[in-house]
Amino acid sequence: MQPSAHDIIRASALKRTFGRGLSAVTVLKGVDLSIPSGRLIALKGRSGSGKTTLINLLSALDRPTEGMITFDGRELTALTNQERDMVRRKEMGLIFQSFALIPLMSAYENVEFILRVAGVPSGGRKEAAIQALEQVGLKSRMHHRPFELSGGEQQRTAIARAIAHKPKLLLADEPTAELDSRTGLQIMKVFRELVETAGMTIIMTTHDPAIMEIVDHVYELEDGQIVAQA
Ligand SMILES: Nc1ncnc2c1ncn2[C@@H]1O[C@H](COP(=O)(O)OP(=O)(O)OP(=O)(O)O)[C@@H](O)[C@H]1O
């Protein structure tokens, strides 16, 4: 894919090495990416190929050893830790394989709590939380706690929590890995709707061939490098 003016995130010559000296391991070996905004993107690759490492760099949870990342026109890699935290909190949403919900809180409270942590004023929190739960089709179940929800409903709660502040970019590390294939496809339907109706960009990692069929573009990582894109 050629870089375009509407790329939400670009990475060039990204390298990530863990450790030093003889025990140093270079996990990413020069990754270049240009992700157009408003698309659903999958990163695939064998276990250990570097998918999670790359997601952690794109979401500014981690810093590359070398290379540059630009997010929405700003050089993410040039920001201070505090600035990067702010960009992530305000403009990105993160979803993980394990839904990481707070067990004692209902679905609604889980979403509302994150908005509170993000500093959203109390007046707007209720509406934003309900709207996000509605977007993932969970409004009728929002007063249930995680243990009363199915795996798919828990993941939808996690998605609602990640989108309640209306991020431009959603990054999801293996969001369907814990789910059966039918439930995984329901999650993909939610992602597709977020891209189509809210114009969000979603980058997800996956091993599932059925999911590659649904996304707009697939990047394949092999041994720390992008070896194919379609
Ligand atoms: N903090 C770290 N220190 C040392 N090695 C690491 C660290 N994080 C990741 N690695 C190594 O980097 C390689 C890539 O890991 P990564 O988690 O990015 O792969 P992945 O493609 O996401 O794999 P999976 O599909 O199993 O989740 C692995 O060999 C892993 O052991």
Q: Which of 136, 41, 23 is nearest to 58 (CA)?
A: 41
* Ligand 1 near 206 CB (within 6 A): no
**Domain regions of the chain by residue span:** 7-229
Which pLDDT score, from 0 to 100, does residue 41 have? Answer: 96
The predicted structure's pLDDT at residue 101: 94
Paired tokens of 1: 């894919």
| 52 Cα–ligand 1 center, Å | 7
Span from the CA of 189 to the centroid of ligand 1 (angstroms):
28
Beta carbon of 48 within 6 Å of any ligand 1 atom: yes
Of ligand 1's listed atoms, the one at least distance from the Cα of 207 is 25
Q: How far apart are the CA of 50 and the centre of ligand 1, in A? A: 6
Right CATH for 7-229 from 3.40.366.30, 1.20.1260.10, 3.40.50.300, 3.30.70.360: 3.40.50.300
- The tens place of each residue's pLDDT in the chain, 230 residues long, gives 444 558 999 999 999 999 999 899 999 999 999 999 999 999 999 999 999 999 999 999 999 999 999 999 999 999 999 999 999 988 999 998 887 899 999 999 999 999 998 888 988 999 999 999 998 899 999 999 999 999 999 999 999 999 999 899 999 999 988 888 888 888 899 899 999 998 999 999 998 888 888 899 999 999 999 998 88
Q: Is 174:206 a contact under the CB 8 Å cutoff?
A: yes
Candidate from 18, 59, 211 with most ligand 1 atoms within 8 A of CB, to mutate:
18
pLDDT at 212: 84
| Phi, psi dihedral angles at 103 (to 5 degrees) | -60, -35
Query: Side-chain half-sphere of 33: how many Cα atoms within 13 Å?
Result: 36
Alpha carbon nearest to ligand 1 atom 29, residue: 48
